[in-house]
Amino acid sequence: MVVAAAGNDAQTGNPPEYPAAFPEVIAVAACDIAGAHTYYSEYGSYVDLAAPGGLPDTNASGILSTLPDAIGNTLCGYLAGTSMATPMVAGAAAMLLAQDPSRTPEEVENLLTTTAEKVGPDAYSGGWNQYLGWGRINVYRALTRATTFTPRDWRASFL
């Protein structure tokens, strides 16, 4: 299972980012605290899920990272980007696998996408939109979902 950042170049042409744009990869866009798509997060047909990615304007709206930041913090700092959102989805996938190690990558992806919250101002035609994919991850909802569910054929939505 591969989870990758969708990219931060929405304002400079929005080119597809790889490996996120590969169909087998869970591509993660960034949303803000209210669930709206962030201005920098790339979007498009390859986006699967969204998670909080922070905003680069102030420390208060960033995501605390172990990487140094641009204002001189050397041990950790507040950063923003789809690279800040992606570990939240990867961590949720790891928790689902820890809960039941027999789950396939497809089952984990289905649990994450079918329990995602439809947030933000953009419409979700057929349950999906190009900015936040299937929505913002909801780890609690995914972990507490019944173990018997009908997986959605994610390939069918792109045919």
Identify the bridge partners of residue 4 per DSSP, sorted by sequence position: 27
At residue 157, does pLDDT exceed 80? no
The answer to whether the peptide bond before residue 121 is cis (omega within 30 degrees of 0) is no
Distance CA 62, CA 47 (A): 22
Q: Which two tokens stand for residue 123?
A: 């419409």
**Structural domain spans, the chain:** 3-54+81-140+149-158
Six-digit token string for 112: 């994450």
Cα 96 to Cα 144: distance, rounded to the nearest angstrom: 10
- Which CATH entry fits the domain spanning 3-54+81-140+149-158: 3.20.20.100, 1.20.1260.10, 3.40.50.200, 3.40.50.150? 3.40.50.200
**Per-residue pLDDT at 117:** 95
pLDDT of residue 130: 95
pLDDT tens profile 5-54: 999 999 888 989 999 999 999 999 999 988 899 999 999 999 999 999 98
This prediction's pTM? 0.84
